[in-house]
Amino acid sequence: MKIIVGLGNPGVHYQRSRHNVGFRAVDQLSEDQRIPVSLRRFKAHYGMGRIHSQDVVLLKPLTYMNLSGEAVRKVAHAFSAEKEDLIVIHDDLDLALGRLRVKQKGGDGGHQGVRSIIEAMGGNSFLRLKVGIGRPPKGVEPADYVLSSFDEDEEPEIRSALCRAAEAVEVILSEGVDAAMNRFQKKPPPLLAGR
């Protein structure tokens, strides 16, 4: 069983914020794979299904970002999953807008949600799929920046990134981590006008 965790904050107010790209990536995967994330338990919304013959849980914690580990630990325990069975999708300030990075292990990089999962699961040996949101403009605090919405001209690029993130999860499950790294960590092609 693989648990695919999208990190974000619950509520309409945060729905389109930069910090919620993990939620949006899980929504994209849910749509692509026809796995509804409609169940509510474990302080989370979740759904169960199969992707490339792999049993999966799609998970969106409802605990707010800095307590994400609570929900992740409950779901992992319920499905007898280990931290190595997690794929955590989250925003990254240090990646350019729309860039993806697949990373095994490592620290929290200052990300409160990742830190909470490391603490709750007792280690960092889980896979992360980072979605770049870029650095804040000069004079804007990172805490304010991550809770702000994407600009209108950034939305097409982030939507493209979310589609690629969902595809990257599929590749991780079907072909392995190395294949996903090779395919999705390159700079994405420029978007065509009108897309």
Residues 128-163 pLDDT 10s = 999 999 888 888 888 889 888 888 889 889 999 999
Q: What is the mean pLDDT of the chain?
A: 88
**pLDDT of 70 above 60:** yes
Q: What is the DSSP string of 10-59?
A: -SGGGTTBGGGHHHHHHHHHHHHHT----EEETTEEEEEEEETTEEEEEE
Give CA–CA dist 150/163, Å, rounded: 16
Give the Cβ contact number of residue 78 at 10 Å.
Answer: 14
pLDDT > 70: what percent of the chain?
95
By the 8 A CB rule, do 72 and 90 touch?
no
Helix (H) or strand (E) holding 166: helix 155-175
By the 8 A CB rule, do 166 and 62 touch?
no
Query: What is residue 190's predicted lDDT score, i.e. its pLDDT?
Result: 62
Which of 19, 45, 90, 111 is catalytic? The answer is 19
Give every CB contact of residue 185 below 8 A, 6+ residues apart in sequence: 99, 100, 101, 102
Give every CB contact of residue 15 below 8 A, 6+ residues apart in sequence: 23
Give CA–CA dist 195/102, Å, rounded: 26
> What domains can be seen in the chain, in order of their start residue?
2-184 (3.40.50.1470)
**pLDDT of 121 above 70:** yes
Higher pLDDT, 47 or 194: 47
**For the whole model, what pTM was predicted?**
0.90
Give every CB contact of residue 13 below 8 A, 6+ residues apart in sequence: none
By the 8 A CB rule, do 66 and 113 touch?
yes
Give CA–CA dist 166/178, Å, rounded: 16
Type of residue numbered 138? K
In DSSP terms, which residues pair with 102 in a beta bridge? 129
Residues 156-195 pLDDT 10s = 899 999 999 999 999 999 888 888 888 887 766 665 544 4
Our answer to whether residue 19 is catalytic in this structure is yes
